[in-house]
Amino acid sequence: MFKWLIIIHVLGATIWVGGHLLLCLRYLPEALKKKDPEIIKAFEKKYEIIGMPSLFLQVITGVWMALSVYGVYLFGFSNPVETAISIKLILLIAIILLALDVRIFIFPRVTKDNLWWLALHIIAVTIISLLFLYYGIAIRFGGV
């Protein structure tokens, strides 16, 4: 069972991190250069179909592995694996807060004049996603 949880988790991470790298490195520079938020909106509309389910799968499989396989307490910092898992949960909360901010406040009002604010959120989510990857790998090597 653990093998399947890892496969699903890594597949979700591939979609999530890869999608945000693509957005940040390919579409965001074009949108900023042209001052056109529609480029970002078009990407998000297509990516959201697989991006959000991949994040959901990562949360489910990650919590499942943390509790059943590693036997750790969520938000526990008593050993290196618990610390890595807890950091990933804190990063998840940050991603959720950024996503809510974008969905509720930024996307509905984004224009060429305030596109930079959306860009900061995209860059932040991409960096956090790479940190997810780092701490996930750290778990496989004994934690942090």
Report if residue 62 sits inside a domain: yes
Is 73 contained in some domain?
A: no
72 within some domain? no
pLDDT band at 10 (very low <50, low <70, confident <90, very high): very high
pLDDT of residue 2: 85
Q: How confident is the model at residue 75 (pLDDT cuts 50, 70, 90)?
A: confident
CA distance readout (Å), 88 to 63, 84, 97, 120, 125: 10, 6, 14, 21, 13
* Domain count of the fold of the chain: 1
pLDDT tops 90 at residue 67? no
Structure tokens at 67: 């509790």
pLDDT, mean of residues 41-54: 95
Evaluate whether residue 74 is within a structural domain. no
Q: What is the pTM of this model?
A: 0.91
Residue numbers of the domain that contains 123: 2-67+80-140
The verdict on residue 75 lying in a domain is no
Task: Report if residue 28 sits inside a domain.
Answer: yes
Residue 55 counted as domain residue: yes
Q: Which residues have CB under 8 Å from 56's CB, separation 6+?
A: 12
Q: Confirm whether 39 is domain-assigned.
A: yes
